[in-house]
Structure 1
Amino acid sequence: MVLFNVESVKILWDTWSVRGLIILSLVLQSFLILFAPFRKQMGGNSVFMSSLWVAYLLADWVATFTIGLIFRAESNDIKALWAPFLLLHLGGPDTITSFSLEDNEFWIRHLLQLMIQLCASVIVILQSIRHNKLLLPTLLVFIVGVIKYAERNIALYRASFDHYGDKNPNVSFLEKTAATESESESHYLGIMLRRELGPHGTLKNLLVGPLLSPFRRNFTRRAFLKRQSRDVLNIMEIELSLLYEALYTKLPVVHCKIGYVFRIISLGCTFGALMSFMLITKHYKLGKFDVWLTNSLLISAIALEFISIGLLFFSDFNLLDHYYWQGNREIKFLCWKVEFDHMSTGVKNRRWWSKKIYLYNFLTNHFSDCPSWLNKLANFLSIRISNLKVRTLEDQEWRFIFDELIRKAQEAETVEAGKRLCLQRGDGILDDDGNLIWSIKELDYTESLLTWHIATEICFRVDQNTASDNTKYKAISKLLSDYMLYLLAMQPALMASVSIGSKGECKRAYDEMCRLAYNDLNAFFVGRDLNVQSLAEAMFNDEAPTSYVLQVCGYERTSLIRGARMLAHQLMDQNSGFSWELMSKVWVELMCYAAINCRPNVHAQQTSKGGQLLTFVWLLMNHLGLGTQFSTEQLSQTGGTELGQDQP
């Protein structure tokens, strides 16, 4: 008995393959344009990001494959019209041009693909040009397709790091405006935000590597030292959102005079194609389904075009680009005719970052809540099942981090002082305490972080009855401890530059240290039935080690568990309350060290993944003059003058 007829399947494929794939391509385009903007806030959601990634990959593949089917099939009028539609789909929506930074570097591959698909579409049109009654709408859609695909290639080209940033980093937008401290705060802030849109933005130069002038450092440093923590966070959210739009969308290409002109042309051509197609089909009979499908493609193209224009109008680029010049000096901020500090509630409360913090704990992970059979399966497959937690960063926690960085920035009046403070990873707080400095100086960064994490967890579990004024420092210490371990365990790319080297080496080194630490930890379970609380108490109450070095088979080996227990005892021996304040400040320094030494392009990648607290700390440090990319020269290479002086 034959289950299916091969010839019937072939006929079905020949009849419906192109039509079905075109519908699928339209669905993918609609999904991308509607949901791609949300990855700034939902980048940490694995289900959402996986769906977006699949749609992004399928969109290009489906369009390319369908053009190939049309090219090989027998040419007719309606298929000649569908070919440029697929070229339009290959151009992609305005809301996403690349899924990752690496995609931008392949702009030349997309340029080659544009040329190939362009030639294929031209050949399809030429094959039917003699008898094509749909030639006018076909040519109009072809123009739109070329514009869309060209916009995508230009966006990828401009977002690649070889062509991104400022060729003359010392000639900044700020210096050209000659801003002075006498200007109002809103003008002062407006200039600072507006420069991120131009070719001389500080963020761009932080990514591509050139040294920044001391004028720019002094300007932003003065501005941020004056403002409150919440305002600074809002400013940085806007800056990182602008960075996201510049790297992953078409908005920088569209948001210009030429971009507006081409957008009007593409919208007009699409309207013209729809009108001409409707008029022609009244006198030229086509299949009802083909007419319905083509009308759906044209109407959807117009609808998606209006959605793109709406997203452009409400984009961060357009939100902050309401300035005009008056004379040579005065700049006014015309965003809805209100100044930044008095924006309407809807604009000021706009979400740019979800403020989600992922937490991972070494001791808690030892007690997995997963069923035993799942743990065994995970061990067999070499998969780590972790008890990952998510919470929202609170205002008081951000304020504490901000205040600590402000304190450090006030000491960094010179570029050299700022670079020196960037090298501190806890020793800036522990300089006066000789009993604890070994946990920083005698260990590398990864070992030091793990040691402090375990010690913090022991102190947190043991010290249950704390005074009310210590609660803040205790909560912040716990938060930063679990967050930094999450980065080390789950985000090795962010920590690779400060630990071992590459992402793979960082992960392997961390796994090996954890394996040895868990082996040492098993000694506490002999003859005991422990949970996390009782384990921490047992680690603290058992005889404290006098050294964190073990003798194993005649060789010395550093024991993280011994070192953490010894550090916990030393911390708890401090005066009441002082230990938690000390620990919270050490954790801020450990985080700052990781943030400033992480590669800038890795920070840029986080803007499309929901954002990271570490990235905000990195940006704030650079704004406060604590970065490593500032020049010590007092004059720009092109003869610029210092901020605050009039330009000729």
Structure 2
Amino acid sequence: MVNPIPESVKKTWDNWNIRGVILFSLLLQTVLILLAPLRKGMGYKLIILLIWSAYFLADSAATFAIGLIAERATNSQTPTKSNELLVLWAPFLLLHLGGPDTITAVALEDNELWLRQLFGLIFQAGFTFYVFLLSLPGNKLFVPTILVFIAGIIKCFERTRAMYLASWEKFRESTIIELAKDVKVNQGGDYLQVACEYFQIFRGVVVDLFSNFTDFPFEGPSSFGIFGPEDALRIIEVELNLVYEVLHTKIQVTHSVTLRFICFGSLVAALSVFYFQVEKHGLNDFDLGVTYTLFLGGIALDVISFFMGNFSEWTFAALRNHHKSCIARIIRWFLNLKSSKWQQSRIGGKHEVFVFATPFLLRRWSGSVSGLSAIKAHQSKRYGIDKFFQFIAINTYRVIKFVQIDKIIACFGLADIASEIRIKTSVSQGPLTKELWVFIFGEIKRKAKNADEIRGKAESGHYTEVNDPEVGTIKIPNFAYDPEAEIRKGLRKLFSAKGDCTLKELDTNGDLIQFVEIYFGEVKFSFEESIIFWHSATDFLYEETAKEEEISDEKTCNDREFSKILSDYMMYLLVLKPTMLNSLLDWEPTMLNSKPNFRFEALRAATTGELSSSRYSPATTAEANRSIYSMPLDQAKRIVDRLHSLDYLKDKKWEIVSKVWVELMSYAACHSRATRTHVQQVSNGRELFTFVWVLMAHFGLVEPISEN
């Protein structure tokens, strides 16, 4: 017969369980309040994983602790000072369930569950109040317990209301109300003021009320071209950061001074009553330490939240009409510390460039550009943990193919795990350079100028000029002419360019254009195929020029690096984030998979001149799926050879390739309908492509929704 556990031992064990869970809950709150603001500016997977873990564990830990306290209070026959202390701890857990001000949701979907969150908090508040009732009458800690309970209810109310206001339908409704007011952008102000005023219009773009800024008739000049590239980057940074604060923090509800004062005042008053008026004789020293830790920790976290919330873009946006006030000037000074900063570096040890170097604690986004090279993704030269994961991925895939259990594994959804690990370990990270952003900004601004010329020509075409010998030249209205239709036709041609506009502009003799029309006449590449084609061509050209002497011309060197960075970046988006490009391509049979050798062997062979059109062209119906990958590879090698053969284009080849990549990125951003996908990126470090999308929306280069 097993002897029962003595009641004293069980009681001691329960006490330590309660203490441990309560302190763990406080630790999770500290992690969330300090690290949550960093996730939008770091983009490190480990930090994001830590934040997610703390977010989901925080509620569970607080709920579990409340359950332990309720069980202890229910089973207790006589009230003691120790039990009264446990009752005081319960409202602190309710305070923790309210969560910190710096994070309410890790994803947009969390906001849609605000009703479930509300019911959960109501039940937890009910349990906490039930535990308090069990301690009556005779509870000597009645006053501090009530005060902490009030602060906890306020925190829970703020969290639920913040999630409700950030839910998609409510956010859309509030945006419509805001847009009904007078919207005015003072473009003569500094970037912070301009960005906060533009945000009111940007909200409409976010919820798909309109596709770009020029669709909204706000007061003042609409041209975004008056800003330089650096100011444009800072404005977009602030706009996206405001989106993050509205959708992922309590910033919309914490501006209530009354609730903030009541919550903070209740905690301070509870601590004062407990310290000065409560008799502590007979209380465990460790339990007293836990109690003071909860009091001081709650007050400290509230103070930190107050400063984080007040020194934010949202607060400045609320005070932008009082920008001359002392508070607004202090906030502007602090926020200017977060503006983009650049640091000198070198490419190839010779040419100096400026890389994004804002301190990570002050960053509004990661400032990095990811990349995926199809050639390097299948090279065995790896180091450290990447090499280990790649070794596992390659050999796992070989075992799967040898044993022929593909279909069995596919039933469990594990078929592509080995390939995904291999691809993800091949992703590179590099800082954004100032030169690259200036280049992208310049090309998009030039595209906006072309759009304005199209609109101008269409408007002037409404009249027909006639020479009258007596009166002279007169303009006769052409009533059959539809300028709106002509504008749509011209813009549609501009928006549909996937590199051909660049070729027509820079190929003065037309040889390259003629070559492209001949070889591409029978094959109409889709957007995805165009990325594969130009990525392959860029890799071929880059590998070949890497063997040559170092490029001395700074512009050519920059164009070469821009081409490689954008090529790898667009391939990274296509493979790992296809929804951002509206791509529905199935990547199981692609050239990045290790199954068909021809896909990556062709890339490697092409760099050494071994690629032939017959060797890799599909010959049977079973190989039909390979055609969209082998054709771009083969054609890519041909156009690289053509670029080398045309002497008058040798100095322009990298300029052509770099501008083609900006045109491809512009095409993707112009036709982007994944607005929600862009918004989801604001909490994960953000993507350069999202910045390009916002920039094009400012210039009015995003295709209207009505024409989708």
TM-score, normalization by structure 2: 0.76
Q: 1:224 to 1:124 in 2, by over 3 A?
A: same
1:206 deviates by 1.8
Are 2:151 and 1:151 aligned? no
- For 1:132 and 1:309, the matched residues in 2 are separated by 33
Alpha-carbon contact 2:32-2:103 (below 8 Å) kept: yes
Pick from 126, 132, 140: which aligns with 1:119?
126
1:13 deviates by 3.3
Q: Which residue of 2 aligns with 1:424?
A: 497
Q: Which residue of 2 aligns with 1:640?
A: none
Alpha-carbon contact 1:159-1:246 (below 8 Å) kept: yes
- For 1:207 and 1:300, the matched residues in 2 are separated by 37
Alpha-carbon contact 2:175-2:203 (below 8 Å) kept: no
Structure-to-structure mapping, 1:252-401, within 5 angstroms? 252-255=252-255, 259-282=256-279, 285-324=282-321, 337=329, 349=341, 351-368=363-380, 369=382, 370=387, 374-379=392-397, 380=399, 382-383=418-419, 384-385=421-422, 386-401=425-440
- For 2:663 and 2:613, the matched residues in 1 are separated by 27
Pick from 666, 681, 705: which aligns with 1:592?
666
Q: Which residue of 1 aligns with 2:477?
A: none
Query: What letter corresponds to residue 36 of structure 1 in structure 2?
Result: A
Pick from 564, 572, 577: which aligns with 2:633?
564
Q: Which residue of 2 aligns with 1:542?
A: 610
Determine helix, strand or coil for the equivalent of 1:358: strand
Q: Which residue of 1 aligns with 2:241?
A: 241
Q: Which residue of 2 aligns with 1:483?
A: 569
Are 2:147 and 1:135 aligned? no
Alpha-carbon contact 2:394-2:418 (below 8 Å) kept: no
Listed one character per residue, the Cα deviations across residues 506-532 of structure 1 (whole Å, up to 9, x for unaligned) are 4x43554534895224766xxxxxxx9
Q: Which residue of 2 aligns with 1:176?
A: 182
- For 1:405 and 1:219, the matched residues in 2 are separated by 24
Are 2:650 and 1:576 aligned? yes
Determine helix, strand or coil for the equivalent of 2:182: helix
- For 2:314 and 2:556, the matched residues in 1 are separated by 43
Point out the more displaced range, 308-317 or 242-251: 308-317
- For 1:406 and 1:184, the matched residues in 2 are separated by 17
Alpha-carbon contact 1:98-1:248 (below 8 Å) kept: yes
Q: Which residue of 2 aligns with 1:461?
A: 543
Q: 1:300 to 1:452 in 2, by over 3 A?
A: same
1:113 deviates by 0.7
Query: What letter corresponds to residue 598 of structure 2 in structure 1?
Result: D
- For 2:600 and 2:577, the matched residues in 1 are separated by 27
Pick from 587, 596, 619: which aligns with 1:509?
587
Q: 1:103 to 1:221 in 2, by over 3 A?
A: farther
Q: 1:544 to 1:602 in 2, by over 3 A?
A: same
Query: What letter corresponds to residue 41 of structure 1 in structure 2?
Result: G
Q: Flag the structure with more relative contact order, 1 or 2, with Cα contacts below 8 A and sequence separation at least 6.
A: 1
Q: 1:547 to 1:591 in 2, by over 3 A?
A: farther
1:160 deviates by 1.1
Determine helix, strand or coil for the equivalent of 1:577: coil
Query: What letter corresponds to residue 526 of structure 2 in structure 1?
Result: D
Q: 1:535 to 1:435 in 2, by over 3 A?
A: same
Determine helix, strand or coil for the equivalent of 1:558: helix
TM-score, normalization by structure 1: 0.83
Listed one character per residue, the Cα deviations across residues 271-317 of structure 1 (whole Å, up to 9, x for unaligned) are 01001111343366422222221111011111111111111222222
Q: 1:296 to 1:244 in 2, by over 3 A?
A: same
1:14 deviates by 1.8
Listed one character per residue, the Cα deviations across residues 589-636 of structure 1 (whole Å, up to 9, x for unaligned) are 22223334151111111111111101101111111111235789xxxx
Listed one character per residue, the Cα deviations across residues 65-111 of structure 1 (whole Å, up to 9, x for unaligned) are 11122222225322221111111100100111111111111111101
Structure 2 residues without counterparts, runs of 5 or longer: 75-82, 342-361, 400-416, 456-486, 505-509, 644-648
Determine helix, strand or coil for the equivalent of 1:250: coil
- For 2:429 and 2:279, the matched residues in 1 are separated by 59
Listed one character per residue, the Cα deviations across residues 123-165 of structure 1 (whole Å, up to 9, x for unaligned) are 1111212121111111100110011011111111111111113
Q: 1:378 to 1:222 in 2, by over 3 A?
A: farther
- For 1:476 and 1:138, the matched residues in 2 are separated by 62
Determine helix, strand or coil for the equivalent of 1:435: helix
How many equivalent residue pairs? 596
1:225 deviates by 0.7
Are 2:444 and 1:405 aligned? yes
Structure of greater Rg: 2
Determine helix, strand or coil for the equivalent of 1:382: helix
Alpha-carbon contact 2:537-2:637 (below 8 Å) kept: yes
Q: Which residue of 2 aligns with 1:58?
A: 57
Q: Which residue of 2 aligns with 1:528?
A: none
Pick from 515, 521, 536: which aligns with 1:435?
515
Determine helix, strand or coil for the equivalent of 1:390: strand
Q: 1:544 to 1:536 in 2, by over 3 A?
A: closer
Structure-to-structure mapping, 1:19-34, within 5 angstroms? 19-34=19-34
Query: What letter corresponds to residue 114 of structure 2 in structure 1?
Result: W
Pick from 195, 198, 205: which aligns with 2:197?
195
- For 1:388 and 1:554, the matched residues in 2 are separated by 31
Listed one character per residue, the Cα deviations across residues 309-365 of structure 1 (whole Å, up to 9, x for unaligned) are 11122222224443336xxxxx86877549989996676755322311111111111
- For 2:66 and 2:492, the matched residues in 1 are separated by 55
Alpha-carbon contact 2:268-2:299 (below 8 Å) kept: yes
- For 1:103 and 1:626, the matched residues in 2 are separated by 32
Determine helix, strand or coil for the equivalent of 1:243: helix
Structure 1 residues without counterparts, runs of 5 or longer: 326-330, 501-505, 525-531, 633-648
Are 2:635 and 1:519 aligned? no
Cα RMSD for the two superposed structures: 3.4
Query: What letter corresponds to residue 459 of structure 1 in structure 2?
Result: L
- For 1:97 and 1:170, the matched residues in 2 are separated by 24
- For 2:495 and 2:325, the matched residues in 1 are separated by 35
- For 2:94 and 2:300, the matched residues in 1 are separated by 18
Q: 1:377 to 1:242 in 2, by over 3 A?
A: same
Point out the more displaced range, 265-274 or 120-129: 120-129
Alpha-carbon contact 1:547-1:566 (below 8 Å) kept: no
Are 2:188 and 1:185 aligned? yes
Query: What letter corresponds to residue 690 of structure 2 in structure 1?
Result: T
Query: What letter corresponds to residue 205 of structure 1 in structure 2?
Result: G
- For 1:9 and 1:283, the matched residues in 2 are separated by 24
Alpha-carbon contact 2:94-2:124 (below 8 Å) kept: yes
Q: Percent identity between the aligned chains?
A: 32
Q: Which residue of 2 aligns with 1:635?
A: none
Pick from 130, 143, 161: which aligns with 2:168?
161
Determine helix, strand or coil for the equivalent of 1:132: coil
Q: Which residue of 2 aligns with 1:626?
A: 701
Alpha-carbon contact 1:39-1:49 (below 8 Å) kept: yes
- For 2:552 and 2:69, the matched residues in 1 are separated by 75
Q: 1:234 to 1:522 in 2, by over 3 A?
A: closer
Determine helix, strand or coil for the equivalent of 2:143: helix
Q: 1:421 to 1:148 in 2, by over 3 A?
A: farther
Determine helix, strand or coil for the equivalent of 2:216: helix
